[in-house]
Amino acid sequence: MTEIILEMLGDNDYRKMLDMLIDKSMKPQEILNEIDIPQASGYRKIEALVNAGLLVEDEKIQGTSGRPAVKLTTLYRGLNMNVVKNRVTMQVKISRSMLEKSTILSTLYSV
């Protein structure tokens, strides 16, 4: 998990997506409009964040075309990382509702 997070935080687009969604939720298209990246790579990055469990579905809404849509938000509400002598430690603040929405963390939590 640490490696995934470090890799994604090293990428400017991933970091922008995560930073903008800490306190709010947005539709994927709104996210892409805010950070101004090509749609194809932007959707791949959003999907990678969802697959990693860092972005979770916050709510289902009615899309403008009448089709269902989702709003995404970050799994966490706070993230602190420390690196000391090649050892990475992370402290993550997660709400219970977000914990239940992340398949990765709900699995880890149940172990």
pLDDT 10s digits, 62-106: 766 777 778 898 877 666 667 778 777 766 667 666 666 666 666
Using one digit for the tens of pLDDT, what is the confidence trace for 19-60?
888 878 899 989 999 988 899 999 999 998 888 878 888 877
pTM here? 0.70
Q: What are the φ and ψ backbone dihedral angles of 73, each rounded to 5 degrees?
A: -145, 170
CATH of 2-110, one of 1.20.120.520, 1.10.3720.10, 3.30.70.100, 1.10.10.10: 1.10.10.10
